[in-house]
Amino acid sequence: MKRKFFIRGLLKDGCVLLRHGSRHDIYLNPLTNQKQPVPRHAEIDDALAKHIRKCLGLSY
């Protein structure tokens, strides 16, 4: 999955960018107060995308 489409989906579901890291961006779900790093690769593996969304408390 393209990273920009994945990020667009996170933002649509209410997550916000908390901060930029050196190799990852940290996103926060304000409803669950859970944080998860998202790598800055052009492509994000579907299994990793599912894991990130699950850790943020979102459905896939």
Flag whether pLDDT at 60 surpasses 80. no
Q: What is the pLDDT of residue 48?
A: 97
Distance of alpha carbon 38 from alpha carbon 25, whole angstroms: 5
Instruction: Pick the closest to residue 53 from 11, 18, 24, 20 (CA basis).
Output: 11
Architecture of domain 3-55: 2-Layer Sandwich (3.30)
Cα 8 from Cα 24, distance rounded (Å):
16
Average pLDDT on 1-5 reads 96
Q: What are the boundaries of each domain within the chain? A: 3-55
Average pLDDT for 8-23 = 96
pLDDT band at 40 (very low <50, low <70, confident <90, very high): very high
Task: Please say whether the beta carbons of 53 and 44 come within 8 A.
Answer: no
* Segment 10-19 mean pLDDT: 97
